[in-house]
Structures are given as C-alpha cells and as structure tokens.
Chain A
Amino acid sequence: MAEPVPAIKLTGLRKRYGAGETAVDALKGVDMTVWPGEVVGLVGPSGSGKSTLLKCLGAVIEPTAGRMELAGETIYDGDAGGWKIADLRALRRDRIGFVFQAPYLIPFLDVTDNVALLPMLAGQDNAAARKRALELLTALDVRHRAGAQISQLSGGEQQRVAIARALANHAPVILADEPTAPLDSERALTVVRILNDLARQYHTAIVVVTHDEKIIPTFRRIYHIRDGRTHEEAGEGRAL
C-alpha cells in the first residue's frame, strides 16, 4: 500500500520582511503537516505570524527560506531557487481554495456565478461550471439562493457560498482566514461542521486560522503560532 502523502507539508519555513537593521522575521522556521480530509486549527495572538503563514501557503507572498509541499509536490524550496511553480496564479486557482473572514464575494455576480467563476477562470465552459456550482450549493444547503444577489444573503449564507467557491475547482487545500469571525456561536459551529463534512467528503485539507474560542475545541489538531514559530498540540475534537 502506498505511503500517504500530506496535503500540506512545511519544513523550516521562514519569512523576513525588509532588510538590514529594520528587517522583521515574521516566520522563524515553521513546520506543519496537514493530511487530506483533515481540518487543522492555526491559532495565535495578533502579530504572531498567522496571516503571513497563510499568505505563504496561498502563494501570495514568497517565503524567504524553507520548503513547502502541496500534495507531495514541492512548490517552494528556499535552497533551490525559491518557487518551483511558474504560474502561481494557476496554482492558486486550481489547487488552493480561500475562505476569508468576510466572504468577499463578487457583488455584481449572483450566487451561482460567484461559485462558477472559478471553474470558468480555469477554462471550463459556462454550463459545466454552473452545474458544478449548483452541486456545491446543494451540498452547502444554499441551492435555494442560487439566483440571488449577494446583498440579499445573510452573513451565514454568504460564508457558505464562499466555501462553495473555495471548493469549486476541487482544490486539495483550503485556507480559511477567520471564517467564523462575523458569525454568532450557532452559525460559527455550523460553518465548522460544514468544513469538517466537506473535508471528509472531498478529501480536502483545511487550515482554519482563528481566534474564535467557540470553535477551537472542535479541532483534533491545533498549530499554535507565537513569534513566528509553531508548535503542534492535540485538540479536543469536540463533536459538532
């Protein structure tokens, strides 16, 4: 039987902003492993390096050193020239899903097209992209709002649509930045349950950056980040 491959593997990842005396080391050697189908919490105080780590993982900013692998493929190697992928835009589009604190949906597209946009950007025809979008909206229980404008949705519904968009291109990794921050306890726990269900259903690795005390107990594994360094600990894995 083949060795399981982690969806995310970070080894000694570093990020330095600036140079010389004013340089700031935001990440000082982060190690992290996330397996397919797993939801992992990334917890830490403000300024600890959470967002920097998320931006590195999302191929939005370039790390300074270390190694980053996605689904077994090295995408960054600080010892071998940096990025190993030429088209980072395509990497983000096809292999990484993003869920933000605010949903950041495109206000001039309806619900279906917000989700379908991602496969369309990847070159799928409109009909196939919309079919995929409707499948995901059904899975996320917002199929009935498929034709609605974004401004007509509640905060929870918007977040579900954002999650559907993150999944639209079958990304093996989803990065969720404070996805429950604007939601009340009930809705926050619902979002986490949805993420867990989707991780299992689509075999997706999900990293949830959060401060939210309500949802921290739901993670089985948590990475604490402080002063640019992570340490792993087992979570409570409280049932949802």
Chain B
Amino acid sequence: MINLASRDVLHGWGKFLFTGIGLGLLIGVTLTMAGVFRGMVDDGKVLIDNSGADLWVVQQGTLGPYAEPSSLRDDVWRGIAGIEGVAETGNAAYLTIQMAHAGKDVRVMIVGIEVDRPNRPGAPPYLTAGRPILQGHYEAIADERAGLKLGERVKIRRHDYTVVGLTRRMVSSSGDPMIFVPLKDAQEIQFLKDNDALINERARTAANPAFNRPGVPGLLEAAQAAATQARNVNTVLVRLAPGADPAAVAGEIQRWKRLTAYTKAQMEDILIAKLIATSAKQIGMFLVILAIVTAAIVAFIIYTMTLAKVREIAVLKLIGAKNRTIAAMILQQALALGVIGFLVGRVAAGLWGPAFPKYVLLLPQDAIGGFIVVLAICALASSVAIRAALRIDPAEAIGG
C-alpha cells in the first residue's frame, strides 16, 4: 500500500517544510525556556558542588550564605576544626557587586577564599588558564563569563586586582560570574567602611563619654579599632573526613558552637527548592502556556491541511478507502510535522541558547521528553482533524 501521508508531504514539501520550521521556532522557544530553568538549577548545583564543602556553617538561625545574609567571626573555624569528623575548614565571604569593565557594568559575585594552601574548601576546583592565587592580596581568579583576561588589572572597590587565573562555570545562584580574591581583600570589600564613614564613626565614638573616659587610657583607641575591623566571614565551609556522617557532624556543630550548619542536601533544598522556587514556577507556567499554544497551532495547521483535502478525502472514501487509512494519513502528517518542528526547535535552541545572558542548559533527557511531548501534542491535535475527515461525506465527491 502506498503511504499517502508521505506522498502528500512530498507533493507540497516546501509548504510543509516552512510550516514545520515555523512550528520549530515555537518549539525552540519552549525548549529554551526549559533550558533556562535547567540552567538556574544547574547554577545552584555548581555553586554547591564547586565549593568543595560537605557542610556550610552559618550565623545561627539564618539560611546563609547564599539565600540570606550571614555573618560569623573569622576565627570560629578553630572550634569547628576540633569537632570529630571535620577534616578541613575554610572561611568564605560572598558579596555580589556591580563593577565597571570595558565600559560596561558587569554584575559579579566576589568570593573571598583562604589562599594559604591549595584546595581549601571554597577555592575553585579547577582553572582553565593561569595559576592559583599565591599572594595574600590583590590577585584574582575570574570566571570566563566575567569577560576578564589573564593578566588584566581590574578595579574592585578601592583596589586594583590582577587576574592570575581563569575558571569556568563558577557562578552564583543568580548566574553571576564569580571573581575569587584573597579572604582579607573580600572582607575589606564587604565589611570595611569608606574613609569618610570611618572618620565620622571615630568622631561619633570619641563623642561617646562611655568610650572616652578620663583615666582609662587606650579605651577610645580600642573601641575605634573594634568598630573599624573587618574580621567577619559569611560562612565556614567544612570538608568532612571519609566516613563521617554529615548530619551528625552538623548536629555537633549546632549543639556546641551555637551556629547553624547545613548539609549538602539541605543547601540544595535551600538553593533549588526555595531560592529559585518562584522563578521555577514562573517558567513552569510559561512552559505550560507554550505547550498549549503549540498544541493549538499544530491542531490548527493539521485541521487546515485536512480541510484543504476535503474533496480528495471524499473521493478516497467513495472509492473504498477505510477510515483508518485516512486517519493514518492525517496522524502521520501531524507526527511528521512534529518531528520537523522538534528538529528545527532543537537546533534553534542550541544556536541561540549560548547567546542568552544566563546559562541555558539543554539536557538530553529534556530533549527526549520534549520530543515525546511534541509527538503526543501532534497526535492529540491531529484527532480534531481526523474527526473532521471522518465526518466528510463520500457523497461530496458526486455532484448535485
């Protein structure tokens, strides 16, 4: 038996192809939206994975350091390091800023890490170019998406930093590229006030009789020094010893150090289930609407194509074609349209995805799932046209 669907498609292949391309662009938008969602989730995951930590110790009662502000003294690590099961600790400070680069404003996350030895928790796990930070000040490692070049000098707040290394996929949960600097620099960037504020603060402290008592030499200087110190961090990253139970160690830290500690699973829950939940719902709604629009468009296209063949279908029925032959013709055309549309959409999403400012992650399983959904939508949409075709009276082929 001749395949009527393929013959019809080949007969008007140009029209069919252009229809498929149009549909494909719509499917491409849908796949890209799914990719944006996946990218957001992946940004959150790489943030957790690349930190190299098993536990995040933060200010008590906060969801820090990514979802909420958290502030700890930078010496609390000493007590944490003594708890059984803790292999290594690393102070880390995070701050998202907007800096000027090449005449444009670039939003970056400044990450302060301890640079006294390599592979401290918090340091980038790999470099694509350059070397790790070796000096205690004014060196930086930048994510490639920040647009910085190796050896370039970049001004962050008060100081210039030399880019000594480049890394990749080191981004904040919002997708902003990270710039790693020595912890003390990051503390200064985050906590140290500007000169005017310092002068005002010193004057205010000096005017306070409680800090400027006669007969207590050195009290005012000590109070002023305490007020201008930048000795806080946002989190202590903890790497556990092999075999240690993360939940048990987190429990110990919370019990004895009066801090909050999150395991990797809890941090994933905070970042993915809570921090991006609203955005995810937003994208999910958009995906549902796009799927409905795609279904409606496919249904309309197939219905129109079927109505254009009323006479041929009537003749086919008159000369004895079975309903299933006609239904198969319409269904196969709808599926062919879906296949063309999906292929075009996947290629389009792959081409325009990297141009998006945020990471677009097109996963193979999403593509497979999308393909099945597209075919299901096409099959469902073709049912409208099939119903119309089966209602066509073979008598329409005979005049009168």
Contacts and interface: CB of A to CB of B under 8 A. Distances in A.
A229 interface: no
A93 B319 contact: yes
Contacts of A117: 2, 319
Given A108-B10, A117-B2, A122 B320 contact: yes
Contacts of A189: none
Nearest to B322: A89
A98 B2 contact: no
Interface stretch (A54-62, A63-71, A72-80, A194-202): A54-62
A107 B312 contact: yes
A126 B1 CA distance: 6
A93 B320 contact: yes
Contacts of B321: 89, 121
A218 B222 CA distance: 127
A61 B1 CA distance: 28
A73 B330 CA distance: 36
Given A104-B311, A109-B7, A51 B398 contact: yes
Nearest to B8: A108
Nearest to B395: A60
A92 B320 contact: yes
B161 to A, nearest CB: 68
Contacts of A89: 317, 320-322
Contact of B400 (A51, A121, A165): A51
A38 B325 CA distance: 34
B315 interface: yes
Contacts of A121: 1, 319-322, 325
Contacts of A94: 320
Contact of A177 (B1, B312, B399): B399
Given A106-B315, A121-B319, A60 B10 contact: no
Contacts of B398: 51, 54-55, 58, 60, 98, 100, 177
B2 A120 contact: yes
A113 interface: yes
B215 interface: no
B2 A109 contact: yes
Interface SS of chain A: helix, strand, loop or mixed?
helix
B22 interface: no
B353 to A, nearest CB: 37
B394 A60 contact: yes
Given A89-B322, A94-B320, A121-B320, A178 B315 contact: no
B318 interface: yes
Contacts of B320: 89-90, 92-94, 118, 121-122
A52 interface: yes
B2 A118 contact: no
B395 A100 contact: no
A11 interface: no
B158 interface: no
B400 A52 contact: yes
A93 B320 CA distance: 4
15 contacts: A54-B398, A58-B318, A58-B398, A61-B395, A89-B320, A89-B322, A98-B319, A98-B397, A104-B312, A106-B4, A107-B11, A108-B12, A121-B1, A121-B322, A177-B399
Interface of B: 1-2, 4, 7-8, 10-12, 311-312, 315-322, 325, 393-395, 397-400
Shortest Cβ-Cβ A-B pairs, 10 listed: A93-B320, A51-B400, A108-B11, A108-B8, A60-B395, A108-B7, A104-B315, A120-B1, A89-B320, A92-B320
Interface of A: 50-52, 54-55, 58, 60-61, 89-90, 92-94, 98, 100-101, 104, 106-109, 113, 116-118, 120-122, 126, 149, 165, 177-178
